Structure 1
Amino acid sequence: MTADTSLASLALSELARDRALLGRTSTAERVAGILRERIAGGSFRPGVRLSEERICGALGVSRNTLREAFRLLTHERLLVHRLNRGTFVRVLTPADIMDIYRVRRLVECAALRELGDPPFRLDDVEGAVAAGEQAAAEGRWADCSTANIRFHQAVAGLAGSRRTDDLMRGVLAELRLAFHIMDDPRRFHEPYLARNRQIVRTLEAGDAESAERQLGFYLEDSRRQLIEAYPESTPD
Protein backbone atom coordinates (compact mmCIF):
# COMPACT_ATOMS: atom_id res chain seq x y z
CA MET A 1 0.00 0.00 0.00
CA THR A 2 1.42 3.37 -1.00
CA ALA A 3 1.55 6.37 1.33
CA ASP A 4 -1.11 8.16 -0.75
CA THR A 5 -3.41 5.12 -0.63
CA SER A 6 -2.99 4.84 3.12
CA LEU A 7 -3.69 8.55 3.55
CA ALA A 8 -6.79 8.32 1.35
CA SER A 9 -8.11 5.39 3.43
CA LEU A 10 -7.62 7.41 6.60
CA ALA A 11 -9.39 10.37 4.99
CA LEU A 12 -12.40 8.20 4.15
CA SER A 13 -12.61 7.08 7.77
CA GLU A 14 -12.56 10.72 8.81
CA LEU A 15 -15.30 11.52 6.30
CA ALA A 16 -17.47 8.82 7.85
CA ARG A 17 -17.19 10.71 11.15
CA ASP A 18 -18.01 13.95 9.34
CA ARG A 19 -21.29 12.39 8.23
CA ALA A 20 -22.86 13.54 11.50
CA LEU A 21 -22.21 17.15 10.46
CA LEU A 22 -24.63 16.85 7.57
CA GLY A 23 -27.68 16.31 9.75
CA ARG A 24 -31.10 16.09 8.21
CA THR A 25 -30.56 18.96 5.79
CA SER A 26 -27.78 17.40 3.74
CA THR A 27 -26.84 19.70 0.89
CA ALA A 28 -24.14 19.90 -1.75
CA GLU A 29 -22.84 23.05 -0.03
CA ARG A 30 -22.31 21.20 3.24
CA VAL A 31 -20.63 18.29 1.49
CA ALA A 32 -18.40 20.78 -0.32
CA GLY A 33 -17.57 22.41 3.00
CA ILE A 34 -16.49 19.10 4.52
CA LEU A 35 -14.38 18.17 1.51
CA ARG A 36 -12.89 21.67 1.41
CA GLU A 37 -11.69 21.29 5.01
CA ARG A 38 -10.28 17.82 4.35
CA ILE A 39 -8.43 19.02 1.26
CA ALA A 40 -7.07 22.05 3.11
CA GLY A 41 -5.94 19.83 5.98
CA GLY A 42 -4.05 17.48 3.68
CA SER A 43 -6.33 14.44 3.98
CA PHE A 44 -6.69 14.50 0.19
CA ARG A 45 -3.46 15.78 -1.30
CA PRO A 46 -2.96 17.51 -4.66
CA GLY A 47 -3.13 15.06 -7.56
CA VAL A 48 -5.22 12.47 -5.70
CA ARG A 49 -8.28 11.07 -7.48
CA LEU A 50 -11.49 11.31 -5.44
CA SER A 51 -13.60 8.15 -5.55
CA GLU A 52 -17.29 8.98 -5.91
CA GLU A 53 -18.38 5.57 -4.66
CA ARG A 54 -16.23 5.59 -1.53
CA ILE A 55 -16.95 9.21 -0.58
CA CYS A 56 -20.70 8.72 -1.10
CA GLY A 57 -20.53 5.68 1.17
CA ALA A 58 -18.51 7.50 3.82
CA LEU A 59 -20.82 10.52 3.93
CA GLY A 60 -24.06 8.74 3.15
CA VAL A 61 -24.99 11.04 0.27
CA SER A 62 -26.18 10.46 -3.27
CA ARG A 63 -23.93 10.68 -6.32
CA ASN A 64 -25.91 13.67 -7.56
CA THR A 65 -25.25 15.54 -4.31
CA LEU A 66 -21.57 14.65 -4.40
CA ARG A 67 -21.21 15.64 -8.04
CA GLU A 68 -22.78 19.02 -7.30
CA ALA A 69 -20.28 19.44 -4.44
CA PHE A 70 -17.49 18.51 -6.86
CA ARG A 71 -18.76 21.17 -9.27
CA LEU A 72 -18.71 23.79 -6.51
CA LEU A 73 -15.14 22.91 -5.55
CA THR A 74 -14.07 22.83 -9.19
CA HIS A 75 -15.43 26.36 -9.54
CA GLU A 76 -13.30 27.27 -6.51
CA ARG A 77 -10.27 25.81 -8.31
CA LEU A 78 -9.71 23.15 -5.65
CA LEU A 79 -10.68 20.22 -7.90
CA VAL A 80 -10.30 19.44 -11.57
CA HIS A 81 -12.38 17.05 -13.68
CA ARG A 82 -10.50 15.01 -16.28
CA LEU A 83 -12.58 13.43 -19.02
CA ASN A 84 -12.92 9.65 -18.63
CA ARG A 85 -10.57 9.71 -15.64
CA GLY A 86 -12.54 11.29 -12.81
CA THR A 87 -12.17 14.17 -10.37
CA PHE A 88 -8.83 15.05 -8.83
CA VAL A 89 -7.53 17.45 -6.22
CA ARG A 90 -5.94 20.22 -8.23
CA VAL A 91 -2.18 20.65 -8.48
CA LEU A 92 -1.18 24.31 -8.57
CA THR A 93 1.38 25.67 -10.99
CA PRO A 94 3.94 28.39 -10.23
CA ALA A 95 1.76 30.76 -12.27
CA ASP A 96 -1.17 29.95 -9.97
CA ILE A 97 0.92 30.83 -6.93
CA MET A 98 2.03 34.11 -8.47
CA ASP A 99 -1.59 35.02 -9.17
CA ILE A 100 -2.76 34.03 -5.68
CA TYR A 101 -0.16 36.29 -4.10
CA ARG A 102 -1.08 39.12 -6.45
CA VAL A 103 -4.67 38.90 -5.18
CA ARG A 104 -3.51 38.62 -1.57
CA ARG A 105 -1.47 41.82 -1.82
CA LEU A 106 -4.37 43.66 -3.42
CA VAL A 107 -6.84 42.58 -0.73
CA GLU A 108 -4.86 42.22 2.50
CA CYS A 109 -2.71 45.31 2.11
CA ALA A 110 -5.72 47.37 1.05
CA ALA A 111 -7.61 46.20 4.17
CA LEU A 112 -4.87 47.72 6.33
CA ARG A 113 -4.57 50.83 4.18
CA GLU A 114 -8.28 51.61 4.59
CA LEU A 115 -8.54 51.01 8.33
CA GLY A 116 -9.21 54.60 9.27
CA ASP A 117 -8.44 55.95 12.71
CA PRO A 118 -7.25 53.76 15.62
CA PRO A 119 -7.96 51.92 17.82
CA PHE A 120 -8.65 48.97 15.55
CA ARG A 121 -10.75 45.91 16.39
CA LEU A 122 -8.13 43.18 16.42
CA ASP A 123 -9.79 40.36 18.37
CA ASP A 124 -9.87 37.92 15.46
CA VAL A 125 -6.36 38.81 14.33
CA GLU A 126 -4.96 38.47 17.85
CA GLY A 127 -6.83 35.19 18.38
CA ALA A 128 -5.34 33.69 15.23
CA VAL A 129 -1.81 34.73 16.23
CA ALA A 130 -2.23 33.27 19.72
CA ALA A 131 -3.58 30.01 18.26
CA GLY A 132 -0.55 29.75 15.97
CA GLU A 133 1.86 30.38 18.81
CA GLN A 134 0.16 27.73 20.95
CA ALA A 135 0.21 25.19 18.13
CA ALA A 136 3.90 25.84 17.51
CA ALA A 137 4.72 25.46 21.22
CA GLU A 138 3.06 22.03 21.13
CA GLY A 139 4.67 20.99 17.85
CA ARG A 140 1.34 20.92 15.96
CA TRP A 141 2.60 22.36 12.70
CA ALA A 142 -0.46 21.48 10.62
CA ASP A 143 -2.55 23.43 13.15
CA CYS A 144 0.01 26.23 12.98
CA SER A 145 -0.58 26.39 9.23
CA THR A 146 -4.34 26.58 9.82
CA ALA A 147 -3.87 29.37 12.37
CA ASN A 148 -1.74 31.28 9.88
CA ILE A 149 -4.51 31.03 7.30
CA ARG A 150 -6.94 32.31 9.96
CA PHE A 151 -4.61 35.25 10.61
CA HIS A 152 -4.66 36.33 6.98
CA GLN A 153 -8.41 35.79 6.75
CA ALA A 154 -8.78 38.03 9.82
CA VAL A 155 -6.52 40.69 8.30
CA ALA A 156 -8.70 40.77 5.20
CA GLY A 157 -11.72 40.77 7.51
CA LEU A 158 -10.65 44.17 8.86
CA ALA A 159 -12.14 45.56 5.65
CA GLY A 160 -15.58 44.73 7.05
CA SER A 161 -16.80 43.33 3.73
CA ARG A 162 -18.60 40.01 3.35
CA ARG A 163 -17.64 39.92 -0.32
CA THR A 164 -13.99 40.36 0.57
CA ASP A 165 -14.31 37.63 3.20
CA ASP A 166 -15.77 35.23 0.63
CA LEU A 167 -13.08 36.08 -1.90
CA MET A 168 -10.26 35.52 0.58
CA ARG A 169 -11.76 32.30 1.86
CA GLY A 170 -11.50 30.84 -1.62
CA VAL A 171 -8.05 32.28 -2.32
CA LEU A 172 -6.62 30.98 0.96
CA ALA A 173 -8.21 27.55 0.53
CA GLU A 174 -6.52 27.32 -2.87
CA LEU A 175 -3.23 28.44 -1.34
CA ARG A 176 -3.34 25.52 1.09
CA LEU A 177 -2.82 23.23 -1.91
CA ALA A 178 0.60 24.79 -2.40
CA PHE A 179 1.61 24.35 1.24
CA HIS A 180 1.58 20.57 0.84
CA ILE A 181 4.78 20.69 -1.21
CA MET A 182 6.79 21.97 1.76
CA ASP A 183 8.67 18.98 3.16
CA ASP A 184 9.35 20.72 6.47
CA PRO A 185 6.22 22.62 7.61
CA ARG A 186 7.98 23.87 10.74
CA ARG A 187 10.79 25.44 8.74
CA PHE A 188 8.24 27.12 6.47
CA HIS A 189 5.73 28.37 9.04
CA GLU A 190 7.76 29.09 12.17
CA PRO A 191 9.49 32.28 10.98
CA TYR A 192 6.14 33.87 10.15
CA LEU A 193 4.80 33.48 13.69
CA ALA A 194 6.99 36.32 14.92
CA ARG A 195 6.07 38.41 11.88
CA ASN A 196 2.35 37.87 12.54
CA ARG A 197 2.87 39.00 16.12
CA GLN A 198 4.84 42.06 14.98
CA ILE A 199 2.03 43.12 12.64
CA VAL A 200 -0.46 42.85 15.50
CA ARG A 201 1.76 44.95 17.77
CA THR A 202 2.12 47.58 15.05
CA LEU A 203 -1.65 47.72 14.61
CA GLU A 204 -2.15 47.91 18.37
CA ALA A 205 0.13 50.94 18.32
CA GLY A 206 -2.21 52.50 15.77
CA ASP A 207 0.32 52.50 12.92
CA ALA A 208 -1.59 50.92 10.03
CA GLU A 209 0.81 52.36 7.46
CA SER A 210 3.79 50.51 8.95
CA ALA A 211 1.71 47.35 9.37
CA GLU A 212 0.81 47.47 5.69
CA ARG A 213 4.48 47.84 4.76
CA GLN A 214 5.44 44.90 7.01
CA LEU A 215 2.71 42.77 5.44
CA GLY A 216 3.88 43.63 1.93
CA PHE A 217 7.43 42.43 2.65
CA TYR A 218 6.02 39.37 4.41
CA LEU A 219 3.87 38.34 1.45
CA GLU A 220 6.75 38.81 -0.98
CA ASP A 221 9.04 36.61 1.14
CA SER A 222 6.37 33.92 1.42
CA ARG A 223 5.69 33.99 -2.31
CA ARG A 224 9.38 33.69 -3.14
CA GLN A 225 9.86 30.82 -0.70
CA LEU A 226 7.00 28.82 -2.21
CA ILE A 227 8.10 29.47 -5.79
CA GLU A 228 11.67 28.38 -5.02
CA ALA A 229 10.43 25.14 -3.45
CA TYR A 230 7.92 24.36 -6.19
CA PRO A 231 8.64 21.65 -8.77
CA GLU A 232 9.68 22.97 -12.16
CA SER A 233 6.89 20.99 -13.82
CA THR A 234 3.52 19.89 -12.51
CA PRO A 235 0.86 17.51 -13.82
CA ASP A 236 -1.83 18.85 -16.16
Structure 2
Amino acid sequence: MDVSGAGGLTDDRVLLGRTSTAERVADILRTRIAEGYFPPGARLSEESIGGALGVSRNTLREAFRLLTHERLLVHELNRGVFVRVLAVGDVDDIYRTRRLVECAVVRGLGQPPFAVDGLAAAVAEGEAAARADDWTGVSTANIHFHRELVALAGSARTDELMRGVLAELRLAFHVVDDPHALHEPYLRRNREILDALRAGERASAERLLARYLDDSRTRVAAAYAQAVDDPAGSAG
Protein backbone atom coordinates (compact mmCIF):
# COMPACT_ATOMS: atom_id res chain seq x y z
CA MET A 1 0.00 0.00 0.00
CA ASP A 2 1.30 3.45 -0.92
CA VAL A 3 0.29 6.35 1.35
CA SER A 4 -0.30 9.11 -1.19
CA GLY A 5 -1.18 11.75 1.41
CA ALA A 6 0.58 12.55 4.64
CA GLY A 7 -2.01 11.50 7.22
CA GLY A 8 -2.81 15.02 8.36
CA LEU A 9 0.84 15.70 9.14
CA THR A 10 0.54 19.33 8.08
CA ASP A 11 -1.25 19.92 11.40
CA ASP A 12 1.78 18.52 13.23
CA ARG A 13 4.20 20.93 11.61
CA VAL A 14 3.78 23.40 14.45
CA LEU A 15 5.18 20.80 16.85
CA LEU A 16 8.58 21.09 15.23
CA GLY A 17 9.04 24.71 16.24
CA ARG A 18 12.14 26.45 15.00
CA THR A 19 14.51 23.51 15.37
CA SER A 20 13.41 20.70 13.09
CA THR A 21 15.37 17.69 14.29
CA ALA A 22 15.21 14.08 13.17
CA GLU A 23 14.32 13.01 16.71
CA ARG A 24 11.28 15.26 16.80
CA VAL A 25 10.18 14.17 13.34
CA ALA A 26 10.55 10.55 14.47
CA ASP A 27 8.41 11.30 17.53
CA ILE A 28 5.62 12.69 15.34
CA LEU A 29 5.74 9.72 12.98
CA ARG A 30 5.86 7.27 15.89
CA THR A 31 2.70 8.82 17.29
CA ARG A 32 1.01 8.69 13.90
CA ILE A 33 1.88 5.01 13.52
CA ALA A 34 0.57 4.29 17.04
CA GLU A 35 -2.69 6.08 16.31
CA GLY A 36 -3.27 4.26 13.06
CA TYR A 37 -2.60 6.88 10.39
CA PHE A 38 0.09 4.71 8.80
CA PRO A 39 -0.96 1.01 8.82
CA PRO A 40 1.36 -2.01 8.46
CA GLY A 41 2.70 -2.39 4.96
CA ALA A 42 2.14 1.28 4.08
CA ARG A 43 4.86 2.89 2.01
CA LEU A 44 5.95 6.25 3.44
CA SER A 45 6.46 8.92 0.83
CA GLU A 46 9.49 11.12 1.47
CA GLU A 47 8.04 13.84 -0.74
CA SER A 48 4.60 14.09 0.88
CA ILE A 49 5.77 13.68 4.49
CA GLY A 50 8.76 15.98 4.09
CA GLY A 51 6.57 18.59 2.44
CA ALA A 52 3.87 18.34 5.12
CA LEU A 53 6.37 18.78 7.94
CA GLY A 54 8.63 21.23 6.13
CA VAL A 55 11.81 19.25 6.73
CA SER A 56 14.72 18.34 4.51
CA ARG A 57 15.11 14.96 2.85
CA ASN A 58 18.19 14.24 4.99
CA THR A 59 16.31 15.02 8.22
CA LEU A 60 13.44 12.79 7.19
CA ARG A 61 15.75 9.95 6.22
CA GLU A 62 17.42 10.16 9.62
CA ALA A 63 13.98 9.99 11.28
CA PHE A 64 13.18 6.93 9.17
CA ARG A 65 16.48 5.39 10.29
CA LEU A 66 15.61 5.94 13.95
CA LEU A 67 12.19 4.32 13.54
CA THR A 68 13.73 1.42 11.63
CA HIS A 69 16.00 0.87 14.62
CA GLU A 70 12.86 0.83 16.81
CA ARG A 71 11.38 -1.88 14.57
CA LEU A 72 8.50 0.29 13.39
CA LEU A 73 9.74 0.74 9.80
CA VAL A 74 11.63 -1.37 7.31
CA HIS A 75 13.73 -0.21 4.37
CA GLU A 76 13.42 -2.27 1.20
CA LEU A 77 16.15 -1.73 -1.37
CA ASN A 78 14.95 0.06 -4.50
CA ARG A 79 11.38 0.14 -3.13
CA GLY A 80 11.41 2.59 -0.23
CA VAL A 81 10.45 2.71 3.44
CA PHE A 82 7.44 0.80 4.75
CA VAL A 83 5.63 0.44 8.06
CA ARG A 84 6.67 -2.93 9.42
CA VAL A 85 4.42 -5.99 9.39
CA LEU A 86 4.99 -7.94 12.61
CA ALA A 87 5.72 -11.65 12.87
CA VAL A 88 3.47 -13.63 15.21
CA GLY A 89 6.34 -14.09 17.67
CA ASP A 90 6.77 -10.31 17.92
CA VAL A 91 3.32 -9.98 19.50
CA ASP A 92 4.25 -12.39 22.27
CA ASP A 93 7.51 -10.56 22.92
CA ILE A 94 5.77 -7.17 23.05
CA TYR A 95 3.44 -8.45 25.78
CA ARG A 96 6.32 -9.88 27.81
CA THR A 97 7.93 -6.44 27.72
CA ARG A 98 4.67 -4.72 28.65
CA ARG A 99 4.10 -6.99 31.64
CA LEU A 100 7.62 -6.41 32.94
CA VAL A 101 7.41 -2.63 32.62
CA GLU A 102 3.77 -1.82 33.40
CA CYS A 103 3.47 -4.06 36.44
CA ALA A 104 6.77 -2.73 37.76
CA VAL A 105 5.48 0.84 37.39
CA VAL A 106 2.36 0.09 39.46
CA ARG A 107 4.37 -1.88 42.03
CA GLY A 108 6.80 1.00 42.42
CA LEU A 109 4.24 3.73 43.03
CA GLY A 110 4.69 5.75 46.20
CA GLN A 111 2.01 6.49 48.73
CA PRO A 112 -1.52 7.34 47.58
CA PRO A 113 -3.26 9.38 46.39
CA PHE A 114 -1.98 8.64 42.90
CA ALA A 115 -2.20 11.14 40.03
CA VAL A 116 -4.82 9.35 37.94
CA ASP A 117 -6.36 12.24 36.00
CA GLY A 118 -4.69 11.11 32.77
CA LEU A 119 -5.90 7.55 33.28
CA ALA A 120 -9.43 8.79 33.97
CA ALA A 121 -9.40 10.85 30.76
CA ALA A 122 -8.28 7.83 28.74
CA VAL A 123 -11.01 5.64 30.27
CA ALA A 124 -13.64 8.28 29.46
CA GLU A 125 -12.24 8.58 25.92
CA GLY A 126 -12.57 4.82 25.39
CA GLU A 127 -16.09 4.65 26.78
CA ALA A 128 -17.20 7.56 24.59
CA ALA A 129 -15.69 5.90 21.51
CA ALA A 130 -17.51 2.65 22.35
CA ARG A 131 -20.84 4.48 22.63
CA ALA A 132 -20.17 5.91 19.16
CA ASP A 133 -19.33 2.41 17.88
CA ASP A 134 -15.83 3.69 17.04
CA TRP A 135 -13.68 0.67 17.85
CA THR A 136 -10.57 2.10 16.27
CA GLY A 137 -11.09 5.02 18.67
CA VAL A 138 -11.40 2.54 21.54
CA SER A 139 -8.07 1.03 20.51
CA THR A 140 -6.45 4.48 20.47
CA ALA A 141 -7.91 5.28 23.90
CA ASN A 142 -6.53 2.00 25.20
CA ILE A 143 -3.05 2.95 24.01
CA HIS A 144 -3.50 6.31 25.75
CA PHE A 145 -4.53 4.53 28.97
CA HIS A 146 -1.36 2.46 29.05
CA ARG A 147 0.84 5.44 28.19
CA GLU A 148 -0.70 7.32 31.10
CA LEU A 149 -0.20 4.31 33.36
CA VAL A 150 3.50 4.16 32.54
CA ALA A 151 3.75 7.95 32.97
CA LEU A 152 2.92 7.45 36.67
CA ALA A 153 6.56 6.38 37.09
CA GLY A 154 7.68 9.91 36.27
CA SER A 155 10.50 8.56 34.09
CA ALA A 156 11.22 10.06 30.68
CA ARG A 157 13.23 6.96 29.74
CA THR A 158 10.37 4.61 30.59
CA ASP A 159 7.94 6.84 28.70
CA GLU A 160 10.21 6.73 25.64
CA LEU A 161 10.58 2.95 25.84
CA MET A 162 6.85 2.37 26.06
CA ARG A 163 6.01 4.81 23.28
CA GLY A 164 7.91 2.55 20.92
CA VAL A 165 6.53 -0.69 22.39
CA LEU A 166 2.93 0.51 22.23
CA ALA A 167 3.38 1.88 18.72
CA GLU A 168 4.72 -1.52 17.68
CA LEU A 169 1.73 -3.23 19.32
CA ARG A 170 -0.61 -1.03 17.30
CA LEU A 171 0.86 -2.61 14.18
CA ALA A 172 -0.71 -5.88 15.33
CA PHE A 173 -4.05 -4.25 16.09
CA HIS A 174 -4.31 -2.94 12.52
CA VAL A 175 -4.13 -6.43 11.03
CA VAL A 176 -6.98 -7.84 13.14
CA ASP A 177 -10.34 -7.75 11.36
CA ASP A 178 -12.67 -7.37 14.36
CA PRO A 179 -11.52 -4.53 16.65
CA HIS A 180 -14.85 -4.62 18.51
CA ALA A 181 -14.30 -8.19 19.69
CA LEU A 182 -10.64 -7.49 20.41
CA HIS A 183 -10.98 -4.30 22.47
CA GLU A 184 -14.44 -4.30 24.04
CA PRO A 185 -13.55 -6.56 27.02
CA TYR A 186 -10.83 -4.18 28.16
CA LEU A 187 -13.02 -1.11 28.60
CA ARG A 188 -14.34 -2.51 31.87
CA ARG A 189 -10.92 -3.72 32.94
CA ASN A 190 -9.33 -0.32 32.37
CA ARG A 191 -11.96 1.20 34.63
CA GLU A 192 -11.32 -1.47 37.29
CA ILE A 193 -7.60 -0.64 37.31
CA LEU A 194 -8.42 3.07 37.52
CA ASP A 195 -10.83 2.50 40.42
CA ALA A 196 -8.23 0.45 42.31
CA LEU A 197 -5.62 3.18 41.93
CA ARG A 198 -8.11 5.88 42.93
CA ALA A 199 -8.78 3.88 46.09
CA GLY A 200 -5.03 3.68 46.76
CA GLU A 201 -5.07 -0.12 46.31
CA ARG A 202 -1.76 -0.53 44.54
CA ALA A 203 -1.44 -4.31 45.01
CA SER A 204 -4.97 -4.88 43.73
CA ALA A 205 -4.29 -2.67 40.70
CA GLU A 206 -1.14 -4.67 39.92
CA ARG A 207 -3.02 -7.98 40.11
CA LEU A 208 -5.76 -6.65 37.83
CA LEU A 209 -3.16 -5.33 35.39
CA ALA A 210 -1.20 -8.60 35.31
CA ARG A 211 -4.33 -10.64 34.55
CA TYR A 212 -5.38 -8.05 31.98
CA LEU A 213 -2.07 -8.26 30.14
CA ASP A 214 -1.97 -12.07 30.25
CA ASP A 215 -5.50 -12.32 28.85
CA SER A 216 -4.84 -9.64 26.24
CA ARG A 217 -1.64 -11.37 25.15
CA THR A 218 -3.54 -14.62 24.55
CA ARG A 219 -6.39 -12.93 22.66
CA VAL A 220 -4.26 -10.61 20.52
CA ALA A 221 -1.69 -13.28 19.64
CA ALA A 222 -4.43 -15.72 18.59
CA ALA A 223 -6.34 -13.11 16.58
CA TYR A 224 -3.17 -11.86 14.92
CA ALA A 225 -2.01 -15.38 14.04
CA GLN A 226 -5.38 -16.10 12.43
CA ALA A 227 -5.37 -12.82 10.51
CA VAL A 228 -1.84 -13.37 9.22
CA ASP A 229 -2.58 -16.98 8.31
CA ASP A 230 -5.87 -16.07 6.57
CA PRO A 231 -5.86 -12.36 5.67
CA ALA A 232 -9.24 -12.66 3.98
CA GLY A 233 -10.88 -14.32 6.95
CA SER A 234 -12.24 -12.95 10.20
CA ALA A 235 -10.17 -12.74 13.38
CA GLY A 236 -13.19 -12.34 15.64
Q: Normalized against structure 1, the TM-score is what?
A: 0.87
Task: Note the alpha carbon deviations across 1:97-129, whole angstroms, 9 max, x for none.
Answer: 111111111111111112243322212222211
1:63 and 2:57 are equivalent in the alignment? yes
What letter is aligned with 2:197?
L
Displacement of 1:64 after TM fit? 0.6
For the aligned residues, what is the CA RMSD? 2.1
Task: Note the alpha carbon deviations across 1:185-223, whole angstroms, 9 max, x for none.
Answer: 222112101000011112222221121111111101111
Task: Describe the SS at the equivalent of 2:6.
Answer: helix
The partner residue of 2:196 within 183, 186, 202 is 202
1:83 and 2:77 are equivalent in the alignment? yes
**Structure 1 segments of 4 or more deviating over 4 A?**
none
What letter is aligned with 2:183?
H
Aligned counterpart, 1:133: 127
Aligned counterpart, 1:178: 172
Task: Describe the SS at the equivalent of 1:81.
Answer: strand
Determine if contact 1:39/1:45 at 8 Å carries over to the other structure.
yes
| Counterpart-to-counterpart distance in 1, 2:113 and 2:53 | 46
Identity %: 65
Aligned counterpart, 2:207: 213
Determine if contact 1:13/1:58 at 8 Å carries over to the other structure.
no
In structure 2, list runs of 5 or more residues that go unmatched: 230-236
Count of matched residue pairs: 228
| Counterpart-to-counterpart distance in 2, 1:202 and 1:13 | 37
1:29 and 2:23 are equivalent in the alignment? yes
| Counterpart-to-counterpart distance in 2, 1:80 and 1:65 | 17
Q: 1:19 to 1:186 in 2, by over 3 A?
A: same
Displacement of 1:21 after TM fit? 4.2
User: Aligned ranges for residues 2-151 of structure 1 at < 5 Å?
Assistant: 4-5=1-2, 8-9=3-4, 11-12=5-6, 14-151=8-145
What letter is aligned with 1:142?
T
Task: Describe the SS at the equivalent of 1:126.
Answer: helix
Aligned counterpart, 2:233: none
Q: Normalized against structure 2, the TM-score is what?
A: 0.87
| Counterpart-to-counterpart distance in 2, 1:194 and 1:174 | 24
